[in-house]
Amino acid sequence: MEWRDQGILLSVRRHGESSAIIDVLTPLRGRHAGVVRGGASRRLAAILQPGAQLDLSWRARLEDHLGAFTVEPVRSRMALVMDDRLALAGLNAVTSLLLFSLPEREAHTALYQRTETLLDLMGARDVWPLAYLRWEMALLQEMGFGLDLSACAVRGARANDLSYVSPRSGRAVSRAGAGDWADRLLPLPPCMLGHGTAPDDEIAEGLHTTGYFLHSRLAPELGHKPLPDARARFIARFAARVARCGDVE
C-alpha cells in the first residue's frame, strides 16, 4: 500500500533510538500516523515541527499497518509564531484539538482546508483570532455539534437582535425571545454572525460559547476525555490580551 499527499503535522514523538512517529492531517485521508525513519535526527527534527506543511509519502505492507512516512518540507509555520506567544498558543490549540477530536483515517476535507487557511494566517496578529473562533465553530459543525444561528429558537423566525445561544440546543435566541432566561443563556456576539469589526472582547465571548459545547457536547461523545490543556492555555493568553487592551483604553 502506498500513497502521496500533502498534510499538516499535528504531533511528533520519539520512536526507538532514531525514529519518530508523527500524526498528520491530510485532505483525503484525514488524521494519519506513521513512522519517520531518522525522524529524531537534527535535520529532520528541524522539519518536524507542529503546524508544518509537509509533502508526504506513506508506505505499508497492509493498509491497516502503521506504515512509514517519507517527508519533505513544503513550508514551516514556526517563523510565523515563534516571536508571538499568543499565536504559538493558538497553533498548539489547533493541533491539539484536531488530535483530540478526529478519528484516524477519516477524511474531513472542508475542515482540513479551513485549518490550512487558519495556520497560514497566524502571522497576522489582528486577523487570525477571529479566524480561530470561526475554526472552532467549524470543528463543532464537522463533529456533529454545529450551532444553528439562522433564527431565534423561541420565536421561530429571523431576528435582528440575536444575542444568545441556548446551551441545550445550540440554537440562537433573540434578546426579545430570551426574556427572563437571558442569564441562563450563552453569549452570541455579533462576530459569530459575521457582523461588525470583531474586537477582542467579542471574540473572547465567542470562545466562551464554543468552549461550552466543546466541553459539554464533544468531550462526552469522545468518552469524557478532558479537552487538551493547550486550548485552556490559549484561552488564558487571549483573556490576558483582552485585559491589557481594556487597561489601555
205 and 139 in one domain? yes
Residue 71 belongs to what domain range?
2-76
90 and 28 in one domain? no
Domain edge (last residue) among 27, 55, 76: 76
210 and 106 in one domain? yes
Residue 79: predicted pLDDT: 86
112 and 22 in one domain? no
177 occurs within a structural domain: no
DSSP character string of 18-35: TEEEEEEEETTTEEEEEE
| Cross-strand bridge partners of residue 14 | 20
The total number of structural domains that make up the chain: 2
120 and 197 in one domain? yes
Q: Which residues of the chain have pLDDT under 70?
A: 246-249
Query: Taking Cα atoms as reference points, which of 249, 126, 137 lies closest to residue 193?
Result: 137
For residues 236 and 230, what is the distance between their CA atoms, to the nearest angstrom? Answer: 10
Domain edge (last residue) among 40, 56, 76: 76
154 occurs within a structural domain: no
41 and 13 in one domain? yes
CATH of the domain at 119: 1.20.1440
Which residues are within 8 A (CB) of 249 and not within 5 positions of it... i.e. 6 or more apart?
none
172 occurs within a structural domain: no
107 and 19 in one domain? no
46 and 120 in one domain? no
219 occurs within a structural domain: yes
Domain edge (last residue) among 50, 76, 102: 76
Residue 247: predicted pLDDT: 56
116 and 72 in one domain? no
pTM equals 0.94
6 and 46 in one domain? yes
